[in-house]
Amino acid sequence: MIKLLRNPFYIYVLGFTLTFLVYSFDWSEIYPHLTIEIKIFFALTFIVFIFFGFFVTRLKLINNTLSCTSTQLISSCFFLLVVLYAFEFLYEKDIPFFAKLMGRDGIGYKEFGIPLLHGILISFNSFLIAHTFTTYLSTKNKKVLRYHLLLYVPALLIINRSIIVFGLLTSLFI
């Protein structure tokens, strides 16, 4: 089973199969029933992805590669993120986590930040979470692990659960 999770084609099929399985329980009446067109579409993509997954596995196209990113580069990227998040906190004149702790409404994570910069920051933060974990597994450098854990702090401060959840799930898959 673990070998299946190394192939992105199989992850797609397993992920959507689990989604459709949960969806079939009809736990919510908010979502519409699946149309035959949607079922046919996913059935065809499952067949194609299983074929490509088998092809990729058979030819051993997915290799384990070790990350050799220097700790200094990770450190520089981390501090750049911290500085840019600090600009966003200054721009908003608030930190959502502390606003919630003090009982104020504050600004929600959907409205938080400098519009273009914020999108870039959360994307780069998510990438850096995954990359630092990969680098830690390759090097076993405790400093890199500390940076990995500290990269969750901005997501906590802006109360952005998706960065935290996706970061943890990505680390689990890695």
Percent of the chain residues topping a pLDDT of 70:
95
From the CB of residue 10, how many other CB atoms can be counted at a distance below 10 Å?
19
Identify the CA nearest to 113 among candidates 131, 133, 95: 95
Is residue 151 within 8 A of residue 78, CB to CB? The reply is: yes
Gap between the Cα atoms of 102 and 88, Å rounded? 20
Amino acid at 109: Y
What pLDDT is stored for residue 121 in this prediction? 93
Residues of the chain with confidence (pLDDT) below 50: none
C-alpha distances out from residue 12 to 4, 26, 92, 156, 161, Å: 11, 22, 38, 29, 23
The pLDDT of residue 104: 82
What is the model's pTM?
0.70
pLDDT at position 59, please? 80
Q: What is the pLDDT of residue 160?
A: 87
User: Residue for token digits 């990729």?
Assistant: 56
- Long-range CB contacts (< 8 A, 24+ apart) of 130-138? 130/167, 130/170, 130/171, 130/174, 131/67, 131/69, 131/74, 132/74, 133/170, 133/171, 133/174, 134/67, 134/174, 135/67, 135/69, 135/74, 137/67, 137/174, 138/66, 138/67, 138/68
Percent of the chain whose pLDDT exceeds 90: 47
pLDDT digits (tens, 9 = 90+) for 33-76: 888 999 999 999 999 999 998 888 888 777 777 788 899 999 99
pLDDT in the model for residue 43: 93
Select from 155, 12, 2, 127 the least CA-distant residue to 69: 127
3-state secondary structure of 152: helix
pLDDT of the residue at 23: 86
In the block, which residue shows the tokens 């996706």?
Answer: 166
Q: What is the pLDDT of residue 29?
A: 80
- Share the mean pLDDT of the chain: 88
Q: Three-state SS for 72?
A: helix
